[in-house]
Amino acid sequence: MKLIGSLTSPYVRKVRIVLAEKKIEYEFVLDSPWTPESTVPNLNPLGKIPVLVLDDETALFDSRVISEYLDNVAPNNKLMPAPNRERTEVKRWEALADGICDAAALLFLEQKRPAKQQSPDWIARQQSKISHGIDYMAKELGENACCIGMHFSLADIAAVCALGYLAFRFPEIDWSEKHPNLARLYAKLMLRPAFADTVPQG
Ligand code: GSF
pLDDT in tens, 184-201: 999 999 999 999 999 999
Per-domain boundaries in the chain: 2-73, 85-192
In this structure, which long-range contacts are made by residues 155-158, counting pairs with CB atoms below 8 Å and at least 24 apart in sequence? 155/89, 155/90, 155/93, 155/94, 155/97, 156/185, 156/189, 157/14, 157/17, 157/18, 157/21, 157/67, 157/79, 158/14, 158/93, 158/94, 158/96, 158/97, 158/98
> Given pLDDT bands bounded at 50, 70 and 90, which one contains residue 202?
confident
pLDDT at 92 over 90: yes
Q: Is 63's C-beta closer than 6 angstroms to any atom of ligand 1?
A: yes
Distance CA 166, CA 164 (A): 5
Predicted confidence (pLDDT) per residue in 10-31, tens digit? 999 999 999 999 999 999 999 9
Task: Give residue 131's pLDDT.
Answer: 98
Instruction: Read off the pLDDT of each residue in 67-86 and give the average, rounded to a whole number.
Output: 96
Expressed in angstroms and rounded, the spacing between residue 143 Cα and the centre of ligand 1 is: 31
Q: Which CATH class is domain 85-192?
A: mainly alpha
Atom of ligand 1 nearest to the CA of 61: 6
Task: Give residue 110's pLDDT.
Answer: 98
| CA max distance for the chain | 53
Expressed in angstroms and rounded, the spacing between residue 90 Cα and the centre of ligand 1 is: 21
| Architecture category of domain 2-73 in CATH | 3-Layer(aba) Sandwich (3.40)
